[in-house]
Amino acid sequence: MSIELKFIDSIHQVSASEWDALCVTDYPFIRHAFLSTLEDSLSTHAKNGWQIAHLVAYENQQLIAAMPGYIKYHSYGEYVFDWAWADAYKRYGMDYYPKWINAIPFTPCTGQRLLIAKDYSINNLLEKIVPFLKETCQLSDLSGWHGLFSDDQLHQALNQQQIDCRLGVQFHWFNKNYKHFDDFLSQLTSRKRKNIRKERQEIIDQQIQFETKEGSDISEEDMQLFFRFYCNTYHKRSGHAGYLTANFFSQIRINLAENLLLIQATKESSDGSTNAIAASLFFRDQQTLYGRYWGCFEDYQFLHFETCYYQGIDYAIANQLKRFDGGAQGEHKIARGFEPVFTYSHHWLKAPEFQTAIQHFLIEEAEAVKAYADEAAELLPFKQEK
């Protein structure tokens, strides 16, 4: 197999038709439109620490594989936290940055991270790709390479290549053939069911209503208002305006319209006009709803839970989606029926002394993560089967 591997510094060096021909599902974040929107809107750029370096593989001038990749000069926007590793490098007088990551920026959603043409074997390709990545790091100032939120197929294949795995936990909601929200609630214990009904009633009592918009029904004005919500919430939470630019939201509205869902919370003001006070932006495919971004101007009791979770569950049930991925972290999701699921990332560091230390750390951490997932499962609000 004569395969040429190389990095490209723009997604536009590959046509959308070539790239998307390798996508075996409608998972939105790996598609050319999503990655190009990040790039064209300057949400990913060398100046903000996301230097584009997608890995592509050709055979006989035909694209046969692709991995979205970036040279990183920090660890922001990754959601697999390695700040302690960077600090350890610094204490030893070594540089942890730059590093190369195979990831979807600002998107902690498990899915394809290696696109492969039909009739090609993932294991055979990785026998070429893994040595290539290692050699690239050895011959450059990259400290190593990392693959974040890999799907199960890539996770298993990288395990076979003996690339160290890091275990994580998220909380996802699963649709067990529910017909409506009350059908879901009926599966919960009495106390948890009452708590959720109380939270939803509080929203009604505050005279907050919701409007759901999809695809072409989402206007440019909707997106610019959402960007203001997004920036305001990031400012309050972390002191900066967020990772994504206004142009990202404008462009994604057009480029991935069929995958977008916007839920706006509205409230009547004293002058009788109705104004949006908060919103949540979701992506979806045929199987899954992905909760991605949220923001508000004012805080209302239970507004976040309703806008980001209960409205999403309503939508998933109505549209017969199988899963609702509510994003990274969030133990508050457990009481609302979101179940612990494992996530996988893979890591290779070229410094031998750190390879050994990280291997020991990952083994110990994995045991703690498994114990945490077991404890979380015990706290789920579902009735116990008799």
DSSP letters for 169-232: EEEEEE--S-SSHHHHHTTB-HHHHHHHHHHHHHHHHTTEEEEEEEGGGS-HHHHHHHHHHHHH
Q: Is the pLDDT of residue 91 over 90?
A: yes
Can you give 233-294 as a three-state secondary structure string?
HHHHHHCCCCCCCHHHHHHHHHHCHHHEEEEEEEEECCCCCEEEEEEEEEEECCCEEEEEEE
Q: What is the reported pLDDT for 234?
A: 86
Mean residue pLDDT across the chain: 95
* First vs last C-alpha separation in the chain: 56
Token pair for 16:
């959308």
| Sign of the C-alpha dihedral computed for residues 245, 248, 320 and 385 taken in this order | negative
pLDDT band at 298 (very low <50, low <70, confident <90, very high): confident
DSSP structure class, residue 42? T
Contacts of 333 (CB under 8 A, 6+ apart): 171, 173, 309, 326
The alpha carbons of the chain give a radius of gyration, in whole angstroms, of 22
Q: What is the reported pLDDT for 267?
A: 94
Tens digits of per-residue pLDDT, 77-88? 999 999 999 999
**What whole-number percentage of the chain has pLDDT above 70?**
99
What does the alpha-carbon distance between residue 257 and residue 239 come to, in Å, rounded to a whole number? Answer: 30
Instruction: Please provide the CATH number assigned to the domain covering 176-321.
Output: 3.40.630.30
pLDDT band at 272 (very low <50, low <70, confident <90, very high): confident
Q: What is the reported pLDDT for 386?
A: 56
pLDDT band at 236 (very low <50, low <70, confident <90, very high): confident
Q: Is the pLDDT of residue 328 over 60?
A: yes
DSSP letters for 44-108: S-GGGTEEE-EEEEEETTEEEEEE-EEEESS-TT-SS--HHHHHHHHHTT----SEEEES-TT--
Burial class (CB in 10 A: 0-12, 13-18, 19+), 203: buried
Tally of CB atoms within 10 A around 90 = 12
Portions of the chain given CATH number 3.40.630.30: 4-169+341-378, 176-321
Mean pLDDT within 189-218: 96
pLDDT band at 240 (very low <50, low <70, confident <90, very high): confident
Q: What is the reported pLDDT for 330?
A: 83
Mean pLDDT within 222-235: 93
Q: What is the reported pLDDT for 51?
A: 98
Q: Longest Cα pair distance anywhere in the chain, in angstroms? A: 71
**131 upstream amide cis, omega within 30 of 0:** no
Tens digits of per-residue pLDDT, 55-83? 999 999 999 999 999 999 999 999 999 99
The highest-level CATH class for domain 4-169+341-378 is alpha beta
Q: Is the pLDDT of residue 341 over 80?
A: yes
Can you give 111-153 as a three-state secondary structure string?
ECCCEECCCCCHHHHHHHHHHHHHHHHHCCCCCEEEECCECHH
DSSP structure class, residue 8? E
Q: What is the reported pLDDT for 258?
A: 96
Token pair for 346:
């893979």
**Segment holding 7, helix H or strand E:** strand 4-8
Q: Is the pLDDT of residue 369 over 80?
A: yes
What does the alpha-carbon distance between residue 346 and residue 269 come to, in Å, rounded to a whole number? Answer: 50
What does the alpha-carbon distance between residue 14 and residue 128 come to, in Å, rounded to a whole number? Answer: 21
The structure's pTM equals 0.95
**Of 296, 257, 263, nearest to 280 (Cα)?**
263
Mean pLDDT within 353-359: 92
